[in-house]
Amino acid sequence: MKFVDEAKIYVKAGHGGKGCVSFRREKFIPHGGPDGGDGGKGGDVIFRAAKSHHTLLDLKYQQHQIAKSGSHGSGNNRTGASADDLEVVLPVGTIIKDFETGEILADLSELNQTFIVAKGGIGGKGNAHFTSSTHQTPRFAQDGMEGDELCLKLELKLLADCGIVGFPNAGKSTFISRVSAAKPKIADYPFTTLTPHLGVVKYSDSKSFVLADIPGLISGAHEGLGMGIQFLKHVERTSVLLHLIDISEAANNNAWANFTAINKELAHYNPQMMGKKQIVALNKIDLPFVKERVKKEVALFKKKGIILHPFSAVTGEGTKEILNKIITILSQAENESSNE
Ligand SMILES: Nc1nc2c(ncn2[C@@H]2O[C@H](COP(=O)(O)OP(=O)(O)OP(=O)(O)O)[C@@H](O)[C@H]2O)c(=O)[nH]1
Ligand SMILES: [Mg+2]
């Protein structure tokens, strides 16, 4: 399965400024010639691939990208100022397509690659251009040209940064729907999630990470029980796993046994999964009988050298701490890879 992040956007380059109609008017020069200046050029819309962006999330909130128009020309042969270009930053790997035809216009596969997606209109000529031997007083000037205008579809192949693992019903889908815009189905029966979902979590102006919600695992998954372990390939390359534990069901209320059972399945799938950093979290602490046990469970995990993060995906209590932890680990991983 291929995950793609998509965004539809409208871009419009700036309009060229108008040429000016003007005549020189000075003392002692009664019939000065035309001196209307040209309009300035409209701004281009330019895409640039940068490391600072990992998803197309920002563009979902800013679907219109419009560059400024050039200034109009003025008398005394003054050309209007050209407008600044509008730079739109995209993640490396974004493919830009014409929305109507699907034609690929550019593939920003390299860091700092730029692409002028919409060209600004050139400014209109002022009346100073239009004198001729027979026409000394042109009372007209050109309008500026329209900037290019188009609808685009942007596509980015996503790789998950953090995978959520746990038993069915642990609250994986509830968590991802709380912290991202992903809306997977949530229900109180096991195996609600049948295919992986990705959610983009934005945590600062330009930073975000991708969370993967995969179907629940059960003991014996490596032998094909339940949904099996085939979906683990979607979280195999993530830097970190979020391991959710649920002790609200009487039949499954031993946190440590749940934790080790899932780890066993991960190890069966690929021993390297055990080398990954795990954030271990106890969900559903809004339920009184779970809340009651939090202290004891935290202490028990601590004894084994593991920090257990209590939280509730429903009320949101404790979710911020989990996100911060994920962000810290991802930033460390990013620094390590850039130092290599
Ligand atoms: N009280 C309470 N219920 C929760 C919490 N988080 C999830 N649930 C409930 O637990 C049930 C299972 O939640 P899901 O998010 O569908 O669980 P899942 O881990 O995605 O389950 P599968 O997709 O089947 O693997 C739903 O009825 C949720 O409403 C929580 O923090 N508190
Ligand atoms: Mg689910």
- Which of 63-72, 192-201, 249-258, 283-292 is the least confident region? 192-201
The rounded Å distance from CA 5 to ligand 2 centre is 20
- Which of 22-31, 281-290, 308-317 is the least confident region? 22-31
Atom of ligand 1 at shortest distance to CA of 312? Answer: 31
The rounded Å distance from CA 252 to ligand 1 centre is 14
Protein residue with least CA distance to atom 27, ligand 1? 188
User: Does position 3 have pLDDT exceeding 70, yes or no?
Assistant: no
75 Rama class: left (phi>0) / alpha (psi -120 to 50) / beta: beta
CB 322 within 8 A of CB 276: no
The rounded Å distance from CA 29 to ligand 1 centre is 86
User: Does position 2 have pLDDT exceeding 60, yes or no?
Assistant: no
Residue 130 CB neighbour total at 10 angstroms = 18
Closest-lying ligand to the alpha carbon of 313? 1
User: Does position 30 have pLDDT exceeding 80, yes or no?
Assistant: no
Which residues surround ligand 1 with Cβ inside 6 Å? 166, 168-174, 186-188, 190-193, 215-216, 283-284, 286-287, 312-314
Average pLDDT, the chain: 91
As given in the structure block, the two tokens for residue 204 are 């600062």
The rounded Å distance from CA 188 to ligand 1 centre is 6
Q: Name the one residue in this structure whose structure tokens are 């940068």.
A: 50
The rounded Å distance from CA 262 to ligand 1 centre is 17
CB 79 within 8 A of CB 35: no
CB 96 within 8 A of CB 107: yes
Q: Which domains does the chain have, with CATH numbers?
A: 4-157 (2.70.210.12), 162-339 (3.40.50.300)
Q: Which of 165, 173, 249, 319 to mutate to test the pocket of ligand 1 (most atoms within 8 A of CB)?
A: 173
Q: Which of 176, 186, 287 to mutate to test the pocket of ligand 1 (most atoms within 8 A of CB)?
A: 186
Percent of the chain with pLDDT over 70: 98
The rounded Å distance from CA 300 to ligand 1 centre is 24
58 Rama class: left (phi>0) / alpha (psi -120 to 50) / beta: alpha
Amino acid at 206: S
- CA 85 → CA 40, 76, 110, 122, 234, distances in Å? 12, 27, 21, 13, 39
CB 193 within 8 A of CB 214: yes
Nearest CA among 266, 209, 193 for reference residue 235: 266
The rounded Å distance from CA 198 to ligand 2 centre is 12
Closest-lying ligand to the alpha carbon of 166? 1
Kindly report, residue by residue over 292-328, the tens digit of the pLDDT: 999 999 999 999 999 999 999 999 999 999 999 999 9
Protein residue with least CA distance to atom 11, ligand 1? 188
Model pLDDT, residue 1: 41
Kindly report, residue by residue over 113-137, the tens digit of the pLDDT: 999 999 999 999 999 999 888 888 8
Protein residue with least CA distance to atom 8, ligand 1? 171
Kindly report, residue by residue over 249-285, the tens digit of the pLDDT: 988 899 999 999 999 999 999 999 999 999 999 999 9
Q: Which of 164, 165, 172, 174 to mutate to test the pocket of ligand 1 (most atoms within 8 A of CB)?
A: 174
Amino acid at 279: I
Kindly report, residue by residue over 146-176, the tens digit of the pLDDT: 999 999 999 887 778 999 999 999 999 999 9
Protein residue with least CA distance to atom 6, ligand 1? 171
Q: Does pTM surpass 0.95?
A: no
The rounded Å distance from CA 322 to ligand 2 centre is 18
Q: Which residues contact 6 (CB under 8 A, 6 or more apart)?
A: 56, 153, 154, 155, 156
Q: Which of 169, 172, 183, 195 to mutate to test the pocket of ligand 1 (most atoms within 8 A of CB)?
A: 169
User: Mean of the pLDDT values across residues 4-30?
Assistant: 89
Length of the chain: 340
